[in-house]
Amino acid sequence: MAVSTTAGPSAAASDLGSLLTTALLTLFIMAAGIIVSVVFAVGAYALISLILPAYKLIGAVAVMVLGVAACFGYFWGSNRLLDTIYPASGANIGANVTKANAIRPWLFLGPAIVILSIYLVYPVFNSIWLSFHGPTGQGWVGTSNYEWLARDGGFRESMRNNLLWLIVVPAAATFFGLIAAALTDRISWGNIAKSLIFMPMAISFIGASVIWKFIYDYRAEGTDQIGALNAIVTTFGGAPQAWITVPFWNNFFLMVVLIWIQTGFAMVILSAALRGIPEETIEAAIIDGASPFQIFYKIKVPQIWGTIAVVWTTITILVLKVFDIVLAMTNGQWGSQVLANYMFDWMFRGLDFGRSSTIALVIMVLVVPIMIWNIREARKDMR
Amino acid sequence: MSTAVGQRPALTWAVNLAVLLLVVIWTVPTFGILVSSLRDKDQLAVSGWWTALFPSEQSIAARTAPPAEAAREGANWVLRGNVFESGSGRISAFGTSIQRPSEFKPGEVAEMRGGGTATVEENGDYVVTYSEQPDDTRGERIFVTALEAPKFTLANYRTVLFSEGIGQSFINTLTVTIPATVIPILIAAYAAYALSWMQFPGRALLLAVVVGLLVVPLQMSLIPLLRLYNGVGIGKSYIGIWLAHTGFGLPLAIYLLRNYISGLPREIIESAKVDGASDFEIFRKIVLPLSFPALASFAIFQFLWVWNDLLVATVFLGNNEEQLVMTGRLRELLGSRGGNWEILTASAFVAIVVPIAVFFLLQRYLVRGLLAGSVKGG
């Protein structure tokens, strides 16, 4: 955007005028680029699906190639257009380059801003709007969705359980991750051990739910147990239990699944942090005669508090969104409901967009403090 | 650090043992699924997977050949055969009625309800003797309690891939994953370059927005987007889910790539500018090639995330054969085949084997990406 050094009302007006021109031109080039490349990609896709047999995978690969081509096409084409309008040659070269440089960043950012606005920003506002409307999104209902929420037993149960999850899962995953990081750094086969502990990260929540449901499997007393947990319990003389149906405690059996998945994440981050600790502090402690435990708790851990906080908050966000595990293991029965699954339930079974948007907003509100903290930390880093 | 431990062999042992314990706890659940998916389904149903290598006691309901095929031996008509369809085992008891399946010891002679007598030997050979020529075309039922040798089979995988629909879902998942992994990369890379190396008003604000959007819960977006899709006629289609995954992946992509691209040496980019290269050329010829590790990190995250996603697929794709992805299929099987562990374990393993392979092959990039900043996770 052209910066004016002369003051005065007429200069301000022409400033505003040139700003407007720049903005409109930016929007025009951006729109032209996006429309042309999308039309080109869609047309090419239609052509391909006309010629080639309708194998889905070929279609998917074609979409991938065309998508990348369309992106390149947009960036190349819009830049070209900009350079044609403001050529970096001729009499006005200086002014042209300045004007082009004011527009170019927005062309680079264009597709990202459009997509982010549609997929993440607009939904936030639309959800707020929906939360004041009826089941189909029509008809203003005032705050009745919120009043319903405040009195709803299912919501209270979800909040209680989410609170439990928020306390237990980040704490346990960070703790085990820290232990695993500290121990694996000291042994020769540490990298293999790390890989194996890290592996559940790659498994889907639903796959992990199958894996753990198999462990919690219950057979009537007296028959052979095929679930590992009940087999262990009966070996030691206990009575087998249908673990995931025991109210209250079943929450913890579900949490184990997420802890199992997330420990590897915590371990990898914390292990890098531990390695980044200056050797001198440790050497000084050794010389002072500190035991390995003292070194760990009094020297190392205090130096990586920042990283522990990052790990903790990242897992906290994940916990707020946890959904697949509860859906697959209990579907919220036996007192194990959580917010994300409750929202899903009202969306798909209750078919009430108003109420489920309200629940989604509650999740959003819970995330906001962490969001603000993240933004502040990020801005600190960037300075 | 090894110096502190090296002097204390007892502590070294304790550390090794503790790590071993952690590794066992973290790998055994997955290993159990793998072993179970390879076991015979009848054995899997009655014994834990940790006994897979030992013979197991089983109740088998066998059916003899049709009595009409009985061969004449002297004054009698006789049927011969073996109760084990495949493999072998040792019989400890047998019976001819379902109420008393272990009434007789091997070698004893049992009267059958429909006339005739039956004997089962320890190795499973049976002899059914009739005094008159039978004309039944349905075989007699014989119940045996057998100690069966361990059986491993790929039959479960055949079943889930071809008749439980996992094969089809595998293709559906791939169809979702391939474009949804690749398309966000370029869009994010250009945005990341602009946010790192170009000067424009509002840059800091945009960056803050991206960091904020990193943690916006997906749940917020589902209903508005569903209504939007229905409004513009996209409905439940692949194009809808590709775009949705692109949108949900973009904040992480922009954030990771910006962290990397803004760390590239300033001299390279400035000297290119001095040589008269435009931003477009600098990006394509210098920044993009140099950023390969970051691009790879994000691609792996996005691949794992899209492949493993259930929520977005459930909302934006249909529940039919043509669109049901593997996670959705697994969820359905958990409901409909809750007790059929041979189906569930084999399906689960098919669903997790690709991400695990990607994980082990490309772990280096994954770790690098994780360390490059906070992460959306799962």
SS3 B115: coil
Last residue of a domain, one of A102, A130, A158: A130
Q: Is the pLDDT of residue A313 over 80?
A: yes
**Residue B61 — very low, low, confident or very high, per pLDDT cuts 50/70/90?**
confident
pLDDT confidence of residue A7:
46
Residue B77, strand partner residues: B72, B130
Q: What is the ipTM of this complex?
A: 0.86
**Does residue A136 fall inside a structural domain?**
no
pLDDT confidence of residue A4:
42
Q: Clarify whether residues A126 and A149 are in a common domain.
A: no
Q: Clarify whether residues A377 and A311 are in a common domain.
A: yes
Mark yes or no for CB contact A112/B330 under 8 Å.
Answer: no
Distance CA(B39)–CA(B183), nearest Å, equals 41
Are A113 and B190 in contact, with CB atoms under 8 Å apart? no
**Does residue A181 fall inside a structural domain?**
yes
**Does residue A2 fall inside a structural domain?**
no
Per the listing, tokens 């081509």 go with A69
**pLDDT digit string, tens, across residues B126-146:** 888 888 777 777 777 788 887
**Does residue A135 fall inside a structural domain?**
no
Mean pLDDT of B221-227: 90
Q: What stretches of chain A show up as alpha helix (H) in DSSP?
A: 9-51, 56-85, 93-116, 122-130, 144-151, 153-184, 190-198, 205-215, 228-235, 249-275, 279-287, 292-294, 301-303, 305-320, 324-329, 339-348, 353-382
**Does residue A137 fall inside a structural domain?**
no
Q: Clarify whether residues A186 and A226 are in a common domain.
A: yes
pLDDT confidence of residue B127:
83
Q: Is the pLDDT of residue A381 over 80?
A: no
**Does residue A138 fall inside a structural domain?**
no
Mean pLDDT of B113-132: 80
Q: Clarify whether residues A83 and A172 are in a common domain.
A: no
Assess A352–B contact: CB distance below 8 Å, yes or no: no
List the Cα angle B257/B261/B267 in 5-degree steps: 175
Q: Clarify whether residues A304 and A156 are in a common domain.
A: yes
**Does residue A348 fall inside a structural domain?**
yes
The 3 state secondary structure assigned to A110-136 is: HHHHHHHHHHHHHHHHHHHHHCCECCC
Which CATH number characterizes residue A236's domain? 1.10.3720.10
Q: Clarify whether residues A65 and A192 are in a common domain.
A: no
Per the listing, tokens 């929520």 go with B311
- Give the distance from residue A124's alpha carbon to the nearest chain B alpha carbon, in angstroms: 6
Contacts of A245 in chain B (CB under 8 A): none
Terminal Cα distance for chain B, rounded:
33
Q: Give chain A's count of helices (H) and strands (E).
A: 17, 0
Mean pLDDT of B173-191: 89
pLDDT confidence of residue B373:
59
Please give the backbone phi and psi of residue A321, each rounded to the nearest 5 degrees, phi first.
-95, 0
Residue B132 is given by DSSP the state S
Q: Is the pLDDT of residue A354 over 80?
A: yes
pLDDT confidence of residue A122:
92
**Residue A53 — very low, low, confident or very high, per pLDDT cuts 50/70/90?**
low
Q: Clarify whether residues A115 and A151 are in a common domain.
A: no
**pLDDT digit string, tens, across residues A124-146:** 999 998 888 888 878 888 888 89
* Residue of B1, B49, B154, B198 whose CA lies nearest to A181: B1
Mark yes or no for CB contact A120/B251 under 8 Å.
Answer: yes
pLDDT confidence of residue A144:
84
Distance CA(B325)–CA(A334), nearest Å, equals 28
The residue of chain A nearest to residue B175, with distances taken between CA atoms, is A60
Q: Which of A35-49, A213-227, B107-121, B292-306 has the highest mean pLDDT?
A: B292-306
pLDDT confidence of residue A246:
84
**Does residue A159 fall inside a structural domain?**
yes
Q: Clarify whether residues A105 and A178 are in a common domain.
A: no
Last residue of a domain, one of A72, A103, A130: A130
Q: What stretches of B215-340 show up as alpha helix (H) in DSSP?
A: 218-232, 238-261, 266-274, 279-282, 288-290, 292-308, 311-316, 326-336
Last residue of a domain, one of A106, A130, A154: A130
Residue A14 or B37, more confident: B37
**How many domains would you assign to chain A?**
2
Sign of CA dihedral B331, B333, B339, B345: negative
pLDDT confidence of residue B106:
80
Contacts of A223 in chain B (CB under 8 A): 46
Contacts of A383 in chain B (CB under 8 A): none
- Give the distance from residue A9's alpha carbon to the nearest chain B alpha carbon, in angstroms: 23
Per the listing, tokens 């995988």 go with B157
Domains along chain B? 56-149 (no CATH), 159-371 (1.10.3720.10)
Q: Clarify whether residues A109 and A204 are in a common domain.
A: no
Chain B contacts in chain A segment 280-339 (CB below 8 A): 282, 286, 292, 295, 310, 313-315, 317-318, 320-321, 323-324, 327-328
Q: Clarify whether residues A263 and A181 are in a common domain.
A: yes
Best residue of B220, B228, B245, B248 to probe chain A, by most A CBs closer than 10 Å: B220
Q: Clarify whether residues A301 and A186 are in a common domain.
A: yes
Q: Clarify whether residues A238 and A193 are in a common domain.
A: yes
pLDDT confidence of residue B86:
63
Assess A151–B contact: CB distance below 8 Å, yes or no: no
Contacts of A183 (CB under 8 A, 6+ apart): A190, B15, B18, B19, B22
Mark yes or no for CB contact A123/B327 under 8 Å.
Answer: no
Domain span at residue A62 reads: 9-130
